[in-house]
């Protein structure tokens, strides 16, 4: 078999643009997932059992159904029910399509991040937890200083929890980068979508997919190394 990468001289911008879209998509997915995850974790550990149950039910349902079904539901089913994402002109891309992909992946990521955050909070010394069932110790000390339960959670527990869960959050980011290829099914021009356009035009399937895999590897490897540096710096500053 003769490998021929000469097509890159013409099509390399498509790989670059696709990689850029993938990174943007992944960043906002993890950001939304982190917000949802913290919210779910606090509800799950809270004293109000109905909200704790709803948090657990959401997590189990999202984790127990395929991501593709969730993407299709938001992009195809919700507009049919009257819930449409308004288009914003002048952006240079299909905003409803892009927003649907980010929203679906963010909601999915939130279920996994919620479990990561919950484990991080539970890993913090029990005496430093506040606002959770059955934990005292520094809760009483914090309140003697005038802190509410929420203030103790926000100022004492969560900062320590995030230091503990940074590696797991980094793994989630890497996973999202790889899983983002699934949004090509709704026409978002991320890396895998652009790769399919390249091999459909150049007929160099093997070489196109090799380049695609290498670009994904560079993104995930670089992300892992950067997060590793952040983790070491946080440990030294602790």
In a domain, 118, yes or no: yes
The token pair that represents 51 in the structure block: 């909200």
In a domain, 13, yes or no: no
Given this model, what pLDDT does residue 134 score?
44
Given this model, what pLDDT does residue 86 score?
87
What gap in Å lies between CA 153 and CA 133, rounded to an integer?
A: 13
What gap in Å lies between CA 71 and CA 8, rounded to an integer?
A: 31
The token pair that represents 132 in the structure block: 């959770």
Which pTM value belongs to this model? 0.85
pLDDT at residue 176 greater than cutoff 80: yes
What gap in Å lies between CA 102 and CA 141, rounded to an integer?
A: 42
Q: How many domains does one find in the chain? A: 1
Out of 13-17, 94-98, 119-123, 129-133, the most confident range is 13-17
Given this model, what pLDDT does residue 193 score?
96
In a domain, 129, yes or no: yes
pLDDT at residue 105 greater than cutoff 80: yes
pLDDT at residue 127 greater than cutoff 60: no
In a domain, 104, yes or no: yes
Q: 206 falls in which pLDDT band (50, 70, 90)? A: very high
DSSP one-letter string for 53-71: HHHHHHHHHHHTS-HHHHH
In a domain, 78, yes or no: yes
Residues 60-89 have pLDDT tens digits of 999 999 999 999 999 999 999 999 888 887
What gap in Å lies between CA 164 and CA 166, rounded to an integer?
A: 6
pLDDT at residue 92 greater than cutoff 70: yes
Q: DSSP state, 145? A: T
Given this model, what pLDDT does residue 141 score?
62
In a domain, 100, yes or no: yes
CB 166 within 8 A of CB 230: yes
In a domain, 16, yes or no: no
Out of 100-109, 134-143, 146-155, the most confident range is 100-109
CATH of the domain at 140: 1.10.3720.10
Rounded to the nearest integer, the mean pLDDT of the chain is: 87
Nearest residue to 22 via CA among 186, 189, 217, 187 = 189
What gap in Å lies between CA 153 and CA 142, rounded to an integer?
A: 10
CB 26 within 8 A of CB 220: no
In a domain, 59, yes or no: yes
Least confidently predicted of 60-69, 86-95, 205-214, 218-227: 86-95
Given this model, what pLDDT does residue 31 score?
95
pLDDT at residue 8 greater than cutoff 70: yes
What gap in Å lies between CA 115 and CA 100, rounded to an integer?
A: 24
CB 184 within 8 A of CB 190: yes
Q: What domain range is 119 assigned to?
A: 21-237
Give the rounded distance of the alpha carbon of 126 from its chain centre. 28
């Amino acid at each position: 078999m003769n490998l021929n990468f000469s097509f890159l001289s013409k099509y390399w911008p498509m790989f670059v643009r696709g990689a850029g879209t993938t990174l943007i998509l992944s960043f906002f997915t993890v950001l939304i997932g982190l917000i949802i995850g913290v919210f779910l974790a606090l509800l799950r550990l809270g004293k109000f059992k109905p909200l704790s149950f709803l948090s657990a039910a959401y997590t189990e349902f999202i984790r127990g159904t395929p991501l593709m079904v969730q993407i299709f539901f938001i992009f195809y089913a919700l507009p049919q029910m009257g819930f449409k994402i308004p288009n914003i002109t002048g952006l240079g891309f299909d905003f409803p399509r892009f927003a649907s992909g980010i929203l679906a992946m963010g909601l999915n990521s939130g279920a996994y991040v919620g479990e990561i955050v919950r484990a991080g909070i539970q890993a913090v010394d029990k005496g430093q937890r506040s606002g959770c069932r059955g934990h005292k110790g520094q809760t009483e000390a914090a309140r003697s200083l005038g802190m509410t339960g929420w203030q103790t959670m926000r100022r004492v527990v969560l900062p320590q929890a995030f230091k503990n869960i940074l590696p797991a959050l980094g793994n989630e980011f890497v996973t999202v980068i790889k899983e983002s290829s699934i949004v090509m099914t709704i026409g978002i021009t991320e890396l895998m979508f652009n790769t399919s356009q390249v091999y459909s035009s150049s007929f160099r399937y093997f070489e196109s997919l090799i380049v695609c895999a290498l670009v994904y590897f560079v993104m995930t490897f670089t992300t892992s190394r950067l997060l590793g540096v952040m983790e070491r710096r946080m440990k030294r500053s602790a």
